[in-house]
Amino acid sequence: MLVTAGATREPLDPVRYLGNRSSGRMGFALAAAAREAGAEVVLVTGPAALATPRGVERVEVERAEQMHEAVMARIEGADLFIGAAAVADYRPAQEAPEKIKKGSGPLTLTLEPTPDILRAVAARRPRPFVVGFAAETTDLLEHARAKLRDKGLDLVAANRVGPGRGLEVERNSLEVLAAEGEPVSLPEQPKEDLARALIALVAERLEAGGRA
């Protein structure tokens, strides 16, 4: 199994970066739960102040492009891929070589898209069973279904985010969607328990024949 976790950081200058609020806790919990279930696990993570789960191989990266490279270099032969990382969708088109000084007027940034890791893994032939995450502030199921379809995923685990929800908290809930059937609701609980429940659900899908 290969799992991604945490946030990526896209440098703006030697001091600043574009990032997000992901702590990496869910991805680390998934790696631990999968190892408990008997899987060989590689964890590719952005900067995260979390201990490596016992028996898990940890690969540290910073930027989205580095995470993409690390995943693609290790995906061969994987049976399962879970993309739990909050990967930056955009990066500065240019990284300033020196610290950008504050001026008297506005500062305009030009952003360019980063590599789409989930789409790249799902497009492989042969490919692993692919699980993505959708963190949304509105229209949770609608956006999750669109992500499932557009990126060719087998499952998508969706959760609402906002103040005190989803990010930088110890508890969460998930709606797990497949191409067919109704969403499976995993109620709010500690992320460690939520990870075990999601790994068990994925294992059931794999035992039932792989593709959802």
pTM as predicted: 0.93
- 189 pLDDT higher than 80: yes
How far apart are the C-alpha atoms of 36 and 34, rounded to whole Å? 5
User: Please, are residues 29 and 49 in contact by the beta-carbon 8 Å criterion?
Assistant: no
What domains, with CATH codes, occur in the chain? 2-91+110-207 (3.40.50.10300)
Over residues 32-70, the pLDDT tens digits come to 999 999 999 999 999 999 999 999 999 999 999 999 999
In the chain the first and final C-alpha atoms are separated, in Å, by 17
User: Please, are residues 196 and 202 in contact by the beta-carbon 8 Å criterion?
Assistant: no
Dmax over Cα atoms in the chain, in whole Å? 62
Catalytic residue flag (residue 20) = yes
- 162 pLDDT higher than 90: no
84 vs 167, residue with greater confidence: 84
Q: What is the per-residue pLDDT for 104?
A: 87
Residues 6+ apart with CB under 8 A from 105: none
212 pLDDT tier (thresholds 50, 70, 90) = very low
How far apart are the C-alpha atoms of 110 and 69, rounded to whole Å? 23
Over residues 86-141, the pLDDT tens digits come to 999 999 999 999 999 999 899 999 999 999 999 999 999 999 999 999 999 999 99
Q: Give me the sign of the Cα torsion angle 200, 204, 209, 211.
A: negative
Nearest of 18, 25, 145 to residue 88 by alpha carbon: 18
User: Please, are residues 123 and 151 in contact by the beta-carbon 8 Å criterion?
Assistant: no
Q: What is the per-residue pLDDT for 36?
A: 97
Query: Could you give the percent of the chain with pLDDT greater than 70?
Result: 95
Catalytic residue among 16, 18, 19, 20: 20
Q: How remote is the C-alpha of 11 from its chain's centroid?
A: 19
Query: Could you give the percent of the chain with pLDDT greater than 90?
Result: 89
Which token pair is 16? 């600043």
Which token pair is 204? 């059931």
Look over the chain and give the mean of its residue pLDDT values, rounded to a whole number: 94
> What's the residue count for the chain?
212
How far apart are the C-alpha atoms of 109 and 91, rounded to whole Å? 10
Helix (H) or strand (E) holding 157: strand 155-160
